[in-house]
Amino acid sequence: MTDLATPPEERDVPVESHHTDHDDHGAHHTSLGLSNMKLAMWLFLGSECLLFGALISTFLLSKTRFITELAAGNPNVIEGLLPADQAAALAEQGVRGGFSDLPVIFQEMASERSVEAIFDIPFTSFSSFVLLMSSLCMVLAHKATEDGDYKNQRIWLATTALLGSVFIGGQIYEFTAFSNEGLTFGGSLFGSAFYTLTGFHGVHVTGGIAMLATLLILSFRGKLNSDRAETVELVGLYWHFVDVVWVLIFTIVYLIP
Amino acid sequence: MTDTLDPNVSGSAAHAEAHGDHPTEKAYWQIFAVLATLTALEVLWSYLGFEGPALVLPLLVMMVVKFALVAGIFMHLKYDLSIINGKYFTILFSFGLVLAIAVYFVVIATFKFQI
């Protein structure tokens, strides 16, 4: 058995021959040792790191500024948080909304100088668990593909997509609940930053579900055999990345007040 | 010539060897159990009433461990070390990651963000 971890020049193997075993699974030998497709996926994920890094930074800055301004009773911030009908009624009377006009949830935020009052941590913890579970299913789908176990490949791919859908369902429920509480996208800096960050993540999960559905279709058509395990691995890299981003969001956005 | 270079060897076998020894199915379940436990611990810690660094630092440590487990095991970064020139790839990726995080901390510090 050859140790492929050893560079070709250090063992008695012609470099041309090494092309053969990589080509077997659709990848091409490169001097880096990774296929071009996998390298491209990593570069893409690197750019995604920058995107989510920027969104998380923006969220942290916006949250701090929002809570400071809210606690200080900034009338511009208060007006943005008032329910639309209440804001219109106050405008008709020619007065600006005050602190006591705010929904209770925002009064709690101001008194505790923290945004955590609006979060439902047990519910979001369940969503995090679901996404972690989906990552496990994804890696098992990849392993089943490598092993040529196509029945389990389909089961794990379908389960991953299903768990992703449950996560998205939870996010829609959470957004609706927050909106009913008075936290809207355009109402405050905090709302804009929160919905942009978690919304972008939700869009990425949705994109991942579409990729998983495509893999399932390919599998049922017999076009996803063990020689194409790298295709499953590439989608898996994307899916795990989405999971990793949620690991960060869950702690930084939800758990750290 | 060796047996892995035999054209009759299946693609999956060559793939597995070319990418080092990936974990077993049991190992993946164990990693998931650790991840789920860490998530539960994070939530528990956030409810224990700690404030300031006593609250934030353990949460950040658990977050980093979870990040490393998913990236290293599920995304196979750890095993890519064993491929040809994989260490350069991993070093390059890690350098970019650290640089990006450092830049964001500088940006946040610039805006006088306080934990």
Say whether pLDDT at B21 is over 80: no
Q: What's the pTM?
A: 0.81
In the numeric block, which tokens belong to residue B83?
A: 């491929």
CB contact under 8 A, B28 and A226: no
pLDDT (average), residues B16-27: 68
- Burial bucket for residue A200 (CB in 10 Å: 0-12, 13-18, 19+): middle
Of B28, B40, B43, the CB nearest to A139: B28
Lowest mean pLDDT among A141-155, A168-182, B18-32, B79-93: B79-93
CB contact under 8 A, A31 and B42: no
SS3 A32: coil
> What is the torsion angle, in degrees rounded to the nearest 10, for the CA atoms of residue B30, residue B35, residue B39 and residue B41?
60
Q: Give per-10-residue mean pLDDT for chain A (257 aa).
A: 44 40 49 79 88 90 87 82 78 75 82 83 95 96 94 96 97 93 86 94 97 96 91 95 95 90
Lowest mean pLDDT among B9-18, B21-30, B73-82: B9-18
Contact (CB, 8 A) for A182 and A103 = yes
Determine the distance from the C-alpha atom of residue B111 to the mean position of all C-alpha atoms in its chain, rounded to a whole number: 29
CB contact under 8 A, A20 and B67: no
Residues of A in contact with B103 (CB under 8 A): 53
Say whether pLDDT at B17 is over 50: no
> What is the reported pLDDT for B114?
53
> What is the reported pLDDT for A28?
55
Of A13, A57, A250, the CB nearest to B108: A57
CB contact under 8 A, A34 and B42: no
Q: Where are the alpha helices (DSSP H) in chain A?
A: 15-23, 36-71, 75-81, 84-93, 104-112, 121-147, 150-181, 189-220, 229-249
Of residues A29, A12, A46, A52, the one with CA closest to residue A245: A52
pLDDT (average), residues B2-19: 41
* Mean model confidence pLDDT for chain B: 76
Residues of B in contact with A58 (CB under 8 A): none
pLDDT over 90 percentage in chain B:
35
Spatial CB neighbours of B25, under 8 Å, sequence gap ≥ 6: A140, A143
Between A22 and B97, residue with greater pLDDT: B97
In the numeric block, which tokens belong to residue A152?
A: 């389990």
pLDDT (average), residues B76-90: 69
CB contact under 8 A, B11 and A8: no
CB contact under 8 A, B5 and A21: yes
Helix axes A121-147, B11-18, angle to 10 degrees: 120
By the CB < 8 Å criterion, does A189 face chain B? no
CA distance A217 to chain B (A): 21
> What is the reported pLDDT for A11?
43
Nearest CA in chain B to A63: B113
> What is the reported pLDDT for A90?
77
Determine the distance from the C-alpha atom of residue B97 to the mean position of all C-alpha atoms in its chain, rounded to a whole number: 12
> What is the reported pLDDT for B85?
63
What is the number of CB-based contacts under 8 A between chain A and chain B? 177
Of residues A145, A168, A167, A150, the one with CA closest to residue A236: A145
Can you tell me the distance from the alpha carbon of A236 to that of A157, in angstroms, rounded to the nearest whole number? Answer: 10
Of B5, B28, B66, the CB nearest to A136: B28
If DSSP states are collapsed to H, E and C, what string results for A175-244? HHHHHHHCCCCCCCHHHHHHHHHHHHHHHHHHHHHHHHHHHHHHHHCCCCCHHHHHHHHHHHHHHHHHHH
Interface test with A, best of B8, B28, B41, B56 (most A CBs within 10 A): B28
Interface test with B, best of A3, A29, A136 (most B CBs within 10 A): A136
Of B3, B39, B84, the CB nearest to A132: B39
Lowest mean pLDDT among A17-21, B53-57, B88-92: A17-21
CA distance B67 to chain A (A): 6
